[in-house]
Amino acid sequence: PNFDPRQFYEWLDKSRATWMAAGPTTYQVILEHAKENAEIIERSQLGFIMSGNAVMPAVVMDQLEKLFGAPVLEVYAMTEAIIITSAPAHPAKTKRGSAGVSWGTEVAIMGEDGSPLPTGEMGEIRIRGKVVTDGYENDRETNAAAFMNGWFRTGDVGFFDEEGFLFIKGRIKDMINRGGEKVIPQEVEEVLLAHPAVKEAVVFPVNHKRLGEDVVAAVVLRGGMKLTDSELMIHISNKLALYKVPSRVIIATELPKGATGKLSRVTMAESLGLAAGAGEEAEYAPPQTGTEVRLVGLLEKAFPRARVGIKDNFFDLGGYSLMAVRLFNDIEKEFGIRLPLSTLFLHPTVGEMAAFLDGGAKQEWKRIVPLQPNGSMPPLFLIHGG
Protein backbone atom coordinates (compact mmCIF):
# COMPACT_ATOMS: atom_id res chain seq x y z
CA PRO A 1 0.00 0.00 0.00
CA ASN A 2 2.91 2.38 0.64
CA PHE A 3 6.49 2.29 -0.54
CA ASP A 4 8.82 0.73 2.01
CA PRO A 5 12.56 0.79 1.14
CA ARG A 6 13.23 -2.28 3.30
CA GLN A 7 10.61 -4.28 1.42
CA PHE A 8 11.97 -2.98 -1.86
CA TYR A 9 15.42 -4.45 -1.26
CA GLU A 10 13.85 -7.75 -0.18
CA TRP A 11 11.78 -7.84 -3.38
CA LEU A 12 14.78 -6.92 -5.50
CA ASP A 13 16.77 -9.79 -4.01
CA LYS A 14 14.07 -12.48 -4.08
CA SER A 15 12.70 -11.66 -7.54
CA ARG A 16 16.12 -11.39 -9.26
CA ALA A 17 14.53 -8.53 -11.19
CA THR A 18 16.28 -7.40 -14.37
CA TRP A 19 14.70 -3.91 -14.47
CA MET A 20 12.64 -1.60 -12.31
CA ALA A 21 10.53 1.52 -12.78
CA ALA A 22 9.70 4.34 -10.35
CA GLY A 23 9.80 8.11 -9.92
CA PRO A 24 12.70 10.32 -8.76
CA THR A 25 11.35 10.72 -5.21
CA THR A 26 11.19 6.94 -4.72
CA TYR A 27 14.71 6.52 -6.10
CA GLN A 28 16.02 9.10 -3.64
CA VAL A 29 14.64 7.00 -0.77
CA ILE A 30 16.22 3.87 -2.31
CA LEU A 31 19.57 5.67 -2.37
CA GLU A 32 19.23 6.68 1.28
CA HIS A 33 18.97 3.01 2.33
CA ALA A 34 21.73 1.72 0.04
CA LYS A 35 24.48 1.34 2.65
CA GLU A 36 22.62 -1.17 4.81
CA ASN A 37 21.72 -3.19 1.69
CA ALA A 38 25.15 -3.32 0.06
CA GLU A 39 25.17 -7.14 -0.26
CA ILE A 40 21.81 -7.19 -2.04
CA ILE A 41 22.94 -4.45 -4.41
CA GLU A 42 26.15 -6.36 -5.13
CA ARG A 43 24.25 -9.44 -6.35
CA SER A 44 21.40 -7.57 -8.07
CA GLN A 45 20.85 -8.31 -11.77
CA LEU A 46 19.38 -5.04 -13.00
CA GLY A 47 20.02 -4.45 -16.69
CA PHE A 48 18.44 -0.99 -16.74
CA ILE A 49 16.45 1.38 -14.52
CA MET A 50 13.40 3.21 -15.82
CA SER A 51 12.36 6.59 -14.45
CA GLY A 52 9.13 8.46 -15.05
CA ASN A 53 6.57 10.59 -13.20
CA ALA A 54 8.86 13.65 -13.06
CA VAL A 55 12.17 14.96 -14.37
CA MET A 56 14.98 13.15 -12.59
CA PRO A 57 17.75 15.41 -11.19
CA ALA A 58 21.09 14.62 -12.82
CA VAL A 59 22.75 14.03 -9.44
CA VAL A 60 20.19 11.31 -8.55
CA MET A 61 20.66 9.66 -11.94
CA ASP A 62 24.43 9.59 -11.53
CA GLN A 63 24.17 8.06 -8.06
CA LEU A 64 21.71 5.37 -9.23
CA GLU A 65 23.86 4.34 -12.20
CA LYS A 66 26.98 4.16 -10.04
CA LEU A 67 25.20 2.19 -7.31
CA PHE A 68 23.56 -0.48 -9.47
CA GLY A 69 25.93 -0.43 -12.45
CA ALA A 70 22.94 -0.07 -14.79
CA PRO A 71 21.84 2.78 -17.10
CA VAL A 72 18.89 4.97 -16.13
CA LEU A 73 16.40 5.43 -18.99
CA GLU A 74 14.03 8.34 -18.59
CA VAL A 75 10.54 7.77 -19.98
CA TYR A 76 7.89 10.38 -20.73
CA ALA A 77 4.41 8.91 -20.44
CA MET A 78 0.90 9.77 -19.33
CA THR A 79 -2.40 7.99 -18.83
CA GLU A 80 -3.84 9.62 -21.96
CA ALA A 81 -1.10 8.35 -24.26
CA ILE A 82 0.93 5.54 -22.63
CA ILE A 83 4.63 6.01 -23.54
CA ILE A 84 5.34 9.17 -25.56
CA THR A 85 9.14 9.26 -25.62
CA SER A 86 11.91 7.20 -24.07
CA ALA A 87 15.66 7.27 -23.82
CA PRO A 88 16.99 4.64 -26.28
CA ALA A 89 18.60 1.54 -24.82
CA HIS A 90 22.31 0.74 -25.23
CA PRO A 91 24.09 0.95 -27.62
CA ALA A 92 21.95 3.77 -29.06
CA LYS A 93 22.87 7.32 -28.14
CA THR A 94 21.31 8.84 -25.01
CA LYS A 95 21.51 12.31 -23.53
CA ARG A 96 21.63 13.18 -19.85
CA GLY A 97 18.52 15.08 -18.76
CA SER A 98 16.51 14.20 -21.88
CA ALA A 99 13.27 12.20 -21.98
CA GLY A 100 14.56 10.62 -25.18
CA VAL A 101 12.95 10.35 -28.59
CA SER A 102 9.49 9.49 -29.88
CA TRP A 103 8.53 5.85 -30.41
CA GLY A 104 5.91 6.66 -33.01
CA THR A 105 3.68 9.26 -31.40
CA GLU A 106 3.84 12.67 -33.07
CA VAL A 107 5.34 15.18 -30.64
CA ALA A 108 5.52 18.92 -31.24
CA ILE A 109 6.53 22.02 -29.28
CA MET A 110 3.97 24.78 -29.74
CA GLY A 111 3.26 28.31 -28.59
CA GLU A 112 0.07 29.40 -26.88
CA ASP A 113 -1.59 30.05 -30.25
CA GLY A 114 -0.84 26.52 -31.46
CA SER A 115 1.95 27.48 -33.86
CA PRO A 116 5.04 25.18 -33.99
CA LEU A 117 8.15 26.59 -32.34
CA PRO A 118 11.68 26.24 -33.78
CA THR A 119 14.25 23.77 -32.46
CA GLY A 120 15.62 24.78 -29.08
CA GLU A 121 12.74 27.09 -28.19
CA MET A 122 10.67 26.23 -25.12
CA GLY A 123 6.92 25.77 -25.32
CA GLU A 124 4.06 23.39 -24.56
CA ILE A 125 4.47 19.74 -25.54
CA ARG A 126 1.56 18.58 -27.71
CA ILE A 127 0.98 15.10 -29.10
CA ARG A 128 -1.19 13.13 -31.51
CA GLY A 129 -1.28 9.59 -32.84
CA LYS A 130 -2.96 6.19 -32.54
CA VAL A 131 -2.12 5.71 -28.85
CA VAL A 132 -3.41 9.16 -27.81
CA THR A 133 -6.91 9.21 -26.31
CA ASP A 134 -9.78 10.62 -28.35
CA GLY A 135 -11.11 12.46 -25.31
CA TYR A 136 -12.58 12.26 -21.83
CA GLU A 137 -15.94 10.56 -21.49
CA ASN A 138 -18.91 12.89 -20.89
CA ASP A 139 -16.68 15.90 -20.23
CA ARG A 140 -17.13 18.41 -23.03
CA GLU A 141 -15.54 21.30 -21.12
CA THR A 142 -12.30 19.40 -20.39
CA ASN A 143 -12.10 18.11 -23.96
CA ALA A 144 -12.41 21.65 -25.33
CA ALA A 145 -9.45 22.73 -23.19
CA ALA A 146 -7.34 19.60 -23.78
CA PHE A 147 -7.47 19.44 -27.59
CA MET A 148 -6.49 22.06 -30.16
CA ASN A 149 -6.51 21.47 -33.92
CA GLY A 150 -6.26 17.71 -33.40
CA TRP A 151 -3.36 17.93 -30.95
CA PHE A 152 -3.59 16.87 -27.31
CA ARG A 153 -2.22 19.47 -24.91
CA THR A 154 -0.05 17.70 -22.33
CA GLY A 155 0.37 20.72 -20.07
CA ASP A 156 4.12 20.06 -19.97
CA VAL A 157 6.84 22.53 -20.99
CA GLY A 158 9.92 21.49 -22.95
CA PHE A 159 11.99 21.76 -26.12
CA PHE A 160 13.65 19.63 -28.80
CA ASP A 161 17.35 19.80 -29.50
CA GLU A 162 18.84 19.59 -32.99
CA GLU A 163 18.93 15.77 -32.86
CA GLY A 164 15.28 15.34 -31.91
CA PHE A 165 15.82 14.63 -28.20
CA LEU A 166 13.05 15.96 -25.99
CA PHE A 167 13.90 17.90 -22.82
CA ILE A 168 11.06 18.42 -20.34
CA LYS A 169 11.39 21.37 -17.99
CA GLY A 170 8.16 21.12 -15.98
CA ARG A 171 4.41 21.68 -15.93
CA ILE A 172 2.74 24.84 -17.18
CA LYS A 173 0.61 24.91 -14.02
CA ASP A 174 3.79 24.64 -11.89
CA MET A 175 5.41 27.67 -13.54
CA ILE A 176 5.72 30.58 -11.12
CA ASN A 177 4.88 34.05 -12.43
CA ARG A 178 7.12 36.29 -10.34
CA GLY A 179 6.09 39.80 -11.27
CA GLY A 180 5.91 38.89 -14.96
CA GLU A 181 9.10 36.79 -14.98
CA LYS A 182 8.46 33.06 -15.43
CA VAL A 183 10.31 30.62 -13.17
CA ILE A 184 10.28 26.86 -13.76
CA PRO A 185 10.59 25.20 -10.31
CA GLN A 186 12.36 22.07 -11.62
CA GLU A 187 15.22 24.17 -13.01
CA VAL A 188 15.89 25.68 -9.58
CA GLU A 189 15.50 22.29 -7.86
CA GLU A 190 18.16 20.76 -10.10
CA VAL A 191 20.64 23.43 -9.01
CA LEU A 192 19.79 22.91 -5.34
CA LEU A 193 20.14 19.12 -5.60
CA ALA A 194 23.53 19.55 -7.27
CA HIS A 195 24.85 20.95 -3.99
CA PRO A 196 26.60 18.15 -2.06
CA ALA A 197 24.85 19.08 1.20
CA VAL A 198 21.28 18.93 -0.17
CA LYS A 199 19.34 15.67 0.00
CA GLU A 200 15.85 16.86 -0.98
CA ALA A 201 14.56 20.09 -2.49
CA VAL A 202 11.25 21.53 -3.62
CA VAL A 203 10.54 24.95 -5.12
CA PHE A 204 7.03 26.38 -4.92
CA PRO A 205 5.05 29.64 -5.16
CA VAL A 206 3.68 31.78 -2.36
CA ASN A 207 1.28 34.68 -2.71
CA HIS A 208 2.99 38.06 -2.82
CA LYS A 209 1.32 41.43 -2.27
CA ARG A 210 3.20 43.17 -5.09
CA LEU A 211 4.61 40.45 -7.35
CA GLY A 212 1.51 38.27 -7.38
CA GLU A 213 3.65 35.18 -6.78
CA ASP A 214 7.06 34.78 -5.21
CA VAL A 215 9.55 31.89 -5.32
CA VAL A 216 10.33 29.93 -2.15
CA ALA A 217 12.41 26.78 -1.71
CA ALA A 218 12.50 24.16 1.03
CA VAL A 219 15.38 21.71 1.43
CA VAL A 220 16.47 18.82 3.60
CA LEU A 221 20.20 18.54 4.23
CA ARG A 222 22.21 15.33 4.28
CA GLY A 223 23.09 13.94 7.70
CA GLY A 224 25.86 15.84 9.43
CA MET A 225 25.93 18.65 6.84
CA LYS A 226 25.52 22.31 7.81
CA LEU A 227 24.47 25.08 5.46
CA THR A 228 22.68 28.41 5.75
CA ASP A 229 19.83 29.69 3.62
CA SER A 230 22.02 32.57 2.40
CA GLU A 231 24.72 30.16 1.22
CA LEU A 232 22.14 28.23 -0.78
CA MET A 233 20.76 31.41 -2.33
CA ILE A 234 24.26 32.43 -3.39
CA HIS A 235 24.83 28.92 -4.78
CA ILE A 236 21.72 29.33 -6.97
CA SER A 237 22.67 32.86 -8.05
CA ASN A 238 26.00 31.52 -9.35
CA LYS A 239 24.11 29.14 -11.68
CA LEU A 240 20.88 30.92 -12.65
CA ALA A 241 19.54 34.40 -13.37
CA LEU A 242 18.80 36.45 -10.27
CA TYR A 243 15.03 36.45 -10.79
CA LYS A 244 15.05 32.64 -10.42
CA VAL A 245 16.68 32.75 -6.99
CA PRO A 246 14.13 32.06 -4.21
CA SER A 247 13.57 35.00 -1.90
CA ARG A 248 13.50 32.52 0.95
CA VAL A 249 15.04 29.08 1.51
CA ILE A 250 13.63 26.99 4.33
CA ILE A 251 15.92 24.33 5.79
CA ALA A 252 13.66 21.59 7.15
CA THR A 253 14.18 18.20 8.80
CA GLU A 254 11.65 16.64 6.40
CA LEU A 255 9.32 17.71 3.59
CA PRO A 256 5.62 16.84 3.60
CA LYS A 257 4.72 14.22 0.97
CA GLY A 258 1.57 12.65 -0.38
CA ALA A 259 0.54 8.99 -0.12
CA THR A 260 2.67 8.08 -3.15
CA GLY A 261 5.74 9.77 -1.69
CA LYS A 262 5.55 12.64 -4.15
CA LEU A 263 6.14 16.26 -3.16
CA SER A 264 3.19 18.55 -3.91
CA ARG A 265 4.07 22.08 -4.98
CA VAL A 266 0.40 23.10 -4.83
CA THR A 267 0.02 22.43 -1.10
CA MET A 268 3.63 22.98 0.00
CA ALA A 269 3.16 26.59 1.12
CA GLU A 270 0.16 25.64 3.25
CA SER A 271 1.92 22.56 4.67
CA LEU A 272 4.88 24.70 5.76
CA GLY A 273 2.66 27.45 7.19
CA LEU A 274 3.36 29.97 4.43
CA ALA A 275 -0.12 30.14 2.90
CA ALA A 276 -0.62 33.71 4.10
CA GLY A 277 1.95 34.80 1.54
CA ALA A 278 4.80 37.30 1.46
CA GLY A 279 5.26 40.93 0.67
CA GLU A 280 3.49 42.17 3.78
CA GLU A 281 4.80 45.42 5.17
CA ALA A 282 7.31 45.10 7.98
CA GLU A 283 6.83 47.05 11.20
CA TYR A 284 8.13 50.50 10.35
CA ALA A 285 11.46 51.45 11.90
CA PRO A 286 12.93 54.79 10.79
CA PRO A 287 16.57 55.14 9.70
CA GLN A 288 18.98 56.19 12.46
CA THR A 289 22.44 56.41 10.91
CA GLY A 290 23.63 58.41 7.95
CA THR A 291 24.14 55.24 5.91
CA GLU A 292 20.60 54.05 6.69
CA VAL A 293 19.16 57.42 5.61
CA ARG A 294 21.03 57.28 2.30
CA LEU A 295 19.98 53.67 1.65
CA VAL A 296 16.34 54.41 2.46
CA GLY A 297 16.50 57.25 -0.06
CA LEU A 298 17.75 54.86 -2.77
CA LEU A 299 15.04 52.29 -1.98
CA GLU A 300 12.26 54.89 -1.91
CA LYS A 301 13.47 55.95 -5.33
CA ALA A 302 13.27 52.32 -6.53
CA PHE A 303 9.89 51.52 -4.93
CA PRO A 304 6.81 53.74 -5.27
CA ARG A 305 6.07 53.70 -1.53
CA ALA A 306 5.36 56.43 0.99
CA ARG A 307 8.16 55.28 3.28
CA VAL A 308 10.77 52.52 3.67
CA GLY A 309 12.07 51.44 7.06
CA ILE A 310 15.29 49.72 8.06
CA LYS A 311 13.43 46.43 8.69
CA ASP A 312 12.11 46.27 5.12
CA ASN A 313 13.39 43.39 3.02
CA PHE A 314 14.30 44.06 -0.64
CA PHE A 315 12.47 40.94 -1.83
CA ASP A 316 9.36 41.53 0.30
CA LEU A 317 9.16 45.04 -1.13
CA GLY A 318 8.76 43.41 -4.53
CA GLY A 319 12.37 43.55 -5.70
CA TYR A 320 13.35 41.61 -8.80
CA SER A 321 16.50 41.06 -10.86
CA LEU A 322 16.56 44.22 -13.00
CA MET A 323 15.66 46.36 -9.99
CA ALA A 324 18.54 44.80 -8.02
CA VAL A 325 21.01 45.72 -10.77
CA ARG A 326 19.74 49.32 -10.77
CA LEU A 327 19.88 49.50 -6.97
CA PHE A 328 23.47 48.28 -6.86
CA ASN A 329 24.43 50.78 -9.56
CA ASP A 330 22.91 53.50 -7.38
CA ILE A 331 24.79 52.17 -4.33
CA GLU A 332 28.05 52.30 -6.30
CA LYS A 333 27.40 55.93 -7.26
CA GLU A 334 26.29 56.90 -3.74
CA PHE A 335 28.93 55.07 -1.70
CA GLY A 336 31.73 54.48 -4.22
CA ILE A 337 31.63 50.72 -3.56
CA ARG A 338 30.88 48.07 -6.16
CA LEU A 339 29.20 45.03 -4.57
CA PRO A 340 28.32 41.63 -6.01
CA LEU A 341 24.57 40.96 -6.26
CA SER A 342 25.00 38.01 -3.89
CA THR A 343 25.34 40.62 -1.11
CA LEU A 344 21.58 41.01 -1.33
CA PHE A 345 21.01 37.45 -0.09
CA LEU A 346 23.27 37.95 2.93
CA HIS A 347 21.97 41.42 3.83
CA PRO A 348 18.44 41.79 2.39
CA THR A 349 17.12 44.47 4.80
CA VAL A 350 18.08 48.13 4.86
CA GLY A 351 19.49 47.80 8.37
CA GLU A 352 21.63 44.77 7.50
CA MET A 353 22.93 46.37 4.30
CA ALA A 354 23.77 49.60 6.14
CA ALA A 355 25.67 47.72 8.85
CA PHE A 356 27.54 45.82 6.16
CA LEU A 357 28.51 49.02 4.31
CA ASP A 358 29.65 50.66 7.54
CA GLY A 359 31.68 47.58 8.47
CA GLY A 360 33.87 47.51 5.36
CA ALA A 361 31.88 46.14 2.46
CA LYS A 362 34.85 45.41 0.23
CA GLN A 363 35.55 42.27 2.26
CA GLU A 364 32.61 40.68 0.43
CA TRP A 365 34.80 39.91 -2.59
CA LYS A 366 36.62 36.63 -2.04
CA ARG A 367 39.77 35.67 -3.93
CA ILE A 368 39.01 31.96 -3.65
CA VAL A 369 35.52 30.84 -4.67
CA PRO A 370 34.80 27.22 -3.67
CA LEU A 371 32.55 25.50 -6.22
CA GLN A 372 32.83 21.97 -4.80
CA PRO A 373 34.57 22.00 -1.40
CA ASN A 374 33.92 18.34 -0.54
CA GLY A 375 35.09 15.09 -2.09
CA SER A 376 37.85 12.51 -2.07
CA MET A 377 39.49 13.29 -5.42
CA PRO A 378 42.57 15.54 -5.80
CA PRO A 379 41.53 19.21 -5.54
CA LEU A 380 41.41 21.32 -8.69
CA PHE A 381 42.12 25.07 -8.61
CA LEU A 382 41.24 27.34 -11.54
CA ILE A 383 43.38 30.50 -11.58
CA HIS A 384 42.30 33.53 -13.62
CA GLY A 385 44.86 34.53 -16.23
CA GLY A 386 44.80 38.17 -15.10
pLDDT digits (tens, 9 = 90+) for 297-319: 888 888 765 578 888 888 777 77
* Rounded percentage of the chain residues whose pLDDT exceeds 90: 39
Listing DSSP states for 298-352 in one string gives HHHHHS--S---TT-BTTTTT--HHHHHHHHHHHHHHHS----TTHHHHS-BHHH
* Average pLDDT of the residues of the chain: 86
Residue 363 has pLDDT above 50, yes or no: no
Task: Give the separation between CA 153 and CA 137, rounded to whole angstroms.
Answer: 17
Q: Which of 4-8, 38-42, 95-99, 380-384 has the highest mean pLDDT?
A: 38-42
Q: What is the pLDDT of residues 79-138, one digit of tens each?
A: 999 889 999 887 888 888 899 999 889 999 999 889 999 999 999 999 999 999 999 999
pTM summary value: 0.66
Cα–Cα distances (Å) from 133 to 52, 122, 124, 151, 153, in that order, read 20, 24, 18, 10, 11
Q: What is the pLDDT of residues 265-285, one digit of tens each?
A: 878 888 887 765 554 556 788
Task: Give the separation between CA 106 and CA 164, rounded to whole angstroms.
Answer: 12
| 143 or 321, greater pLDDT | 143
Question: b vs e for 21-57, b when ≥16 Cβ sit within 10 Å of the residue's Cβ?
Answer: ebbbbbbbbbeeebeebeeebeebebebbbbbebbbb
C-alpha 75, offset from chain centre: 20
Preceding amide of 348 cis, omega within 30: no
